[in-house]
């Protein structure tokens, strides 16, 4: 299984906070690919800069060492812009578009994301 972590799930995982047992097992399984989107790194960086988020530990090193990186492509941008308006957050819309176009299972507990036609795993 190839997973894409939404931003909150990424932060919870790295911070040692609780995720569902099924999500924890899937993320920890070495047979699974676990991806982090450039959109999540961008969102976290913005929130850190405006002091809306404090991340414990060396976030950059953990993301670089523990996860595969998913860049944002023009295809992702087009698809995100064309998604139904179930969710207004552009970062979350990008994650849905990336999961759909790359065949990834999006790990989230965001109810608005769950309205999209995408492979999902509740975190």
pLDDT tens, 65-94?
Answer: 999 999 999 999 999 999 999 999 999 999
CATH code for the domain of 21: 3.40.50.1010
**Mapping DSSP to helix (H, G, I), strand (E, B) and coil, where does residue 94 land?**
helix
Number of domains in the chain: 1
Mean pLDDT, the chain, integer: 95
Burial of 72 per CB tally in 10 Å (0-12, 13-18, 19+): middle
Which residues does the chain have with pLDDT short of 70? none
Domain containing residue 41 = 2-122
């Amino acid at each position: 299984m190839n997973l894409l972590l939404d931003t909150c799930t990424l932060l919870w995982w790295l911070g040692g906070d609780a995720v569902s047992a099924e999500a924890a097992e899937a993320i920890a399984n070495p047979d699974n690919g676990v991806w982090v989107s450039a959109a999540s790194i961008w969102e976290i960086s913005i929130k850190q800069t405006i002091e809306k988020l404090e991340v414990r530990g060396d976030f950059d090193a953990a993301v670089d060492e523990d996860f595969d990186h998913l860049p944002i492509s023009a295809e992702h941008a087009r698809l995100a812009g064309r998604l139904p308006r179930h969710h207004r957050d552009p970062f979350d819309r990008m994650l849905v578009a990336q999961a759909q176009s790359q065949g990834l299972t999006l790990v989230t507990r965001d109810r608005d994301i769950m309205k999209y036609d995408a492979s999902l795993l509740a975190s």
